[in-house]
Amino acid sequence: MMKASFPTNHNFYGEKAIKDNVLTDFFKKSTKSKAKKIFNNTFELTTKDESLKQLNIFRFKPAKDKLKEDEQLILKLYKKEDNQTGEVDYFVQTGLFAGVVYHKDCEFNITCAYGEPFLHRMLNYINDIYVDTKEVDAEQNKKDNSFQHILAHLFVHALERSATLGLPQFYQQKTQRSHKVRGSVDINAYLRHDIPFQGKLTTKYREQSYVQEIIDVLYLACEKLKKVFGVKYLQPILNLYQLLKSQYSGQFVNQSVIDRAKNHTALYNPMFASFKHTLEYAEIILNDWDLQNKEKSDKQTYGYLFDISQLFEVYLEKLLSQHLPAWSVSGQEQLSLYPNRFYKRNMYPDLVLKHLESEKVIVLDAKFKKMSLQYLDLDRSDFYQIHTYMQYYGSSLLFGGLIYPLSGDHILEKAYSESLFDNAHNNQRFIVDGIELHQPDLENMTIKQIIDRENLFIKRLQDLINESLLKAS
């Protein structure tokens, strides 16, 4: 099977053509003629494509029908012939979904455009891990893909967090025949076996036991990770892994066992409720981890994808909540427009911040796209959308803007307007900001560097908030 790897939001303007003589550099394990066949016909996979039935899109928060309303690009393949030279250029475009797509005997691995360290930082925020103590081990198995890497990280850290209070347990009724009384005497057994009394009694008692189905599912998921990534990947949960190993039943896990684990009554206990998500990750790892090894079917396009833009939204929501305690931060707040009219609509800004004292509002939209403070970087629809949100809040608005992973240095004078529309009669401001991730080698960025840049971003926002609140008072 051919393999190709491209970052998210790649080649948005079709500016990065693949020349004929380097085609096999991009498509590994392939001949040039085989790679060219992929581009025989223009192929465009979007969130409204019929092929989407064969793809699973993994979300980081409940959807607001965004996939139903907006058609979003996942993968596009096409070619163009130069009218003057007759040379053919090949193009691959990706959207904001990371993961793996199998199409026409080729594995397309869509990776995070801003490097594994930043991806891990965002994933840690998903699991409420705000202080990273270890650097990311950038070395990956040659056979793994972005989908596997993201899912493995989510599973390990979800399991680590879920098991803070221990593994799920439930009470089982057990019997014991002994000269010691434990629990209550089984009267029926006494009448049948202990008259005349022979020195032993049968007693019933309740004892907490681990849920065997959950133990088996979690253990085998860990074993699969160990096989692909090595035991180092299990380092955060090594003690937990040893406990799971000691309690493992030795039985094969099928879908029936997985279902019993996911629906066990022990998970209704608030202490163990977080294991529900952990078991969902484990189910995918056990059932669909290596899609290319599945039996061939008539599926021409299939795979697993993560909505990386949504991951960025949740990351920013938690980052702002942690650093701005005077503000209530909510994601995807529903704004109802013309609720009693036939043309009623709902809008969902990514981030709405409400001041706990003054009730002033900041509205922000997160965009996981290239931004180097150039004119073409700012998408026209994004620009008008955020201004619509800002207008909705009227006089309550303090400021609004778009937040990106920045590909260049942030320059305040270029990115912050003095007033809305640069109209002196408006007190509100429009901004473009974000976290600077422009280091040449993003894969070698350290956690400390990322945290330092987060702090710079937060400081710019705090300074603007203080200045804007002062003007509004």
- Coil vs helix vs strand at 228: helix
3-state secondary structure 237-264: HHHHHHHHHHHCCCCCCCHHHHHHHHCC
In what order do the strands lie in the sheet containing 361-366? 327-331, 351-355, 361-366, 397-406, 429-436
> Do 279 and 386 share a domain, yes or no?
no
- Tell me the pLDDT band of 144, cut-offs 50, 70 and 90: low
pLDDT in tens, 193-240: 777 777 777 777 777 889 999 999 999 999 999 988 888 889 889 999
> Do 174 and 241 share a domain, yes or no?
no
| Residue 312, domain member (yes or no) | no
Helix or strand (DSSP H, E) at 472: helix 447-472
> Do 224 and 271 share a domain, yes or no?
yes
> Do 280 and 296 share a domain, yes or no?
no
| Residue 144, domain member (yes or no) | yes
- Tell me the pLDDT band of 30, cut-offs 50, 70 and 90: confident
Angle CA 30–32–38, to nearest 5: 80
| Residue 176, domain member (yes or no) | yes
| Residue 316, domain member (yes or no) | no
Task: Count how many domains the chain has.
Answer: 4
> Do 387 and 342 share a domain, yes or no?
yes
> Do 259 and 341 share a domain, yes or no?
no
Residue 28 region by backbone torsions, left for phi larger than 0, else alpha for psi between -120 and 50, else beta? beta
- Tell me the pLDDT band of 386, cut-offs 50, 70 and 90: very high
- Tell me the pLDDT band of 295, cut-offs 50, 70 and 90: very low
pLDDT confidence of residue 299: 53
> Do 223 and 128 share a domain, yes or no?
yes
pTM (two decimals):
0.79
Average pLDDT, the chain: 85
Please say which residue of 280, 307, 334 terminates a domain: 307
> Do 367 and 441 share a domain, yes or no?
yes
| Residue 314, domain member (yes or no) | no
Please determine, for residue 396, whether its predicted confidence score (pLDDT) is greater than 90. Answer: yes
Helix or strand (DSSP H, E) at 385: helix 380-393
Helix or strand (DSSP H, E) at 169: strand 169-178
> Do 402 and 460 share a domain, yes or no?
yes
| Residue 319, domain member (yes or no) | no
> Do 271 and 357 share a domain, yes or no?
no
| Residue 88, domain member (yes or no) | yes
Domain span at residue 420 reads 324-472
Please say which residue of 151, 183, 210 terminates a domain: 210
| Residue 405, domain member (yes or no) | yes
> Do 232 and 120 share a domain, yes or no?
yes
Structure tokens at 53: 């039935």
> Do 303 and 329 share a domain, yes or no?
no
